[in-house]
Amino acid sequence: MRRRAFLTLLGCAAAATPLAAHAQQPALPVIGFLGSGARSDWMHLLTAFHRGLSEAGFDEGRNVHIEHRWAEGQYDRLPAFAAELARRPVAVIAAASLPAALAAKAATAQVPVVFASGGDPVADGLVASLNRPGANVTGVTNFFGELGAKRLEFLREIVPARPLVAVLVNTRNPNAKARLTDVENSARAMGQPIRIFDAGTAGEIDAAFAGLVRERPAPCS
């Protein structure tokens, strides 16, 4: 009887050992990826993101897990997504645009936020300064918002007759105002007539292009 009880206890212990060992495995660190657009439109950037992680020694599923949140162009969804990632909690939030970065910054003061932006992160309120970002936010920017005036200058060189120029912009983007001001000031200085078309959704984009055809401005991309 004692031998049978001992064998039963040994068998139970052996069966429980793999479960206990599995339970003791450390959880993979989690990266939160917050995107303002649609995943299908960002695949080339996601590929570069994964390549960068791999070069740093991190491969999804092996030693890191990535939680994705995509706003599909609906910026009002970003605050809830950012708060959800902060509660997860994640080790870091990668914010793939200015709207995403602002939402992540507002959601947490503890989780590190790394952003990629095209504007001025100081003027946009993301960081205190370029050399000392401060707080929990840092990232990279290419300042392409300042290129609006340069594009207008190039267009004038290509088409010097000064036809009406269309400017397509999503005014829901936080840095749209600064970009528009830059373009409008440059257009005023050049004496170049422009027409602003606001498009932040698929339907508005269709309507904007219909307006472009009606007014027949010079092509501007």
Structural domains in the chain, CATH included, are: 30-142 (3.40.50.2300), 146-215 (no CATH)
The whole-number pLDDT of residue 219 equals 52
Alpha-carbon distance of 212 to 120, in angstroms, equals 30
Closest alpha carbon to 124 in 147, 109, 141, 149:
141
Residue 17 has pLDDT above 60, yes or no: no
121: exposed, middle or buried (C-beta count within 10 Å: 0-12, 13-18, 19+)? buried
The whole-number pLDDT of residue 62 equals 93
Give the full edge-to-edge strand order of the sheet including 65-70.
65-70, 30-35, 92-95, 113-117, 137-141
The residue-averaged pLDDT of 103-114 equals 96
Q: Which two tokens stand for residue 88?
A: 């997860």
Residue 212 has pLDDT above 90, yes or no: no
The predicted model scores a pTM of 0.66
Higher pLDDT, 173 or 115: 115
Residue 10 has pLDDT above 60, yes or no: no
Residue 181 has pLDDT above 50, yes or no: yes
R_g over Cα of the chain: 25
The whole-number pLDDT of residue 217 equals 53
Higher pLDDT, 213 or 219: 213
Q: Please provide the average confidence, as pLDDT, over all residues in the chain.
A: 81
Higher pLDDT, 96 or 144: 96
The residue-averaged pLDDT of 141-156 equals 76
Closest alpha carbon to 80 in 110, 101, 107:
107
Residue 139 pLDDT level (bands cut at 50, 70, 90): very high
The whole-number pLDDT of residue 7 equals 32
Residue 2 pLDDT level (bands cut at 50, 70, 90): very low
What percentage of residues in the chain have a pLDDT greater than 70? 83
Residue 126 has pLDDT above 70, yes or no: yes
For residue 96, how far is the Cα from the chain centroid? 2
